[in-house]
Amino acid sequence: MLGTDQTLGDPAVELGPIWLVGFTRSSGPAVIALEAGGLTKVLIRPSHVPGETVALRGQDCSSGRALRFCYGPSRSACRDKGAGVTVQKVDLTGLDDTGYILFPGVGDYRLWVTLSAQQLGGAVVDVRAPAA
């Protein structure tokens, strides 16, 4: 379910110590619009400062395939086949991290955050085609 991040009031999903920002509504199920080529801009905003480095992971609920994350390189670099990583390290320094989650298509995706082997938070995100 969606909430509102504490910093700017944007619709966001809280995954333990981080917020994922970039959703299409402010309440109800977490829905995000798929962008062209599957690259979908999602802001990572730490909610607990300072702290450890946590790992953000995701998978397609229907196939179990791991999602890829592309934070740091340019959008064009993220389009390259095999770009990104399956485990996105998030340093809880208090700085936002803008990048892309590479969703292969519409559907449900599970996202979760861990520290060592402990899961700190998770959610299912509904990725839909953009409104026409």
State pLDDT tens for residues 43-66.
888 876 567 889 999 999 999 999
What integer pLDDT is reported at residue 65 of this predicted model?
94
Does residue 119 have a pLDDT over 90?
A: yes
| More reliable by pLDDT, 69 or 95 | 69
What integer pLDDT is reported at residue 91 of this predicted model?
85
Does residue 128 have a pLDDT over 80?
A: yes
Q: Is the dihedral of CA 26, 31, 37, 42 positive or negative?
A: positive
Domains in the chain, ordered, with CATH?
3-128 (2.60.40.10)
What integer pLDDT is reported at residue 36 of this predicted model?
67
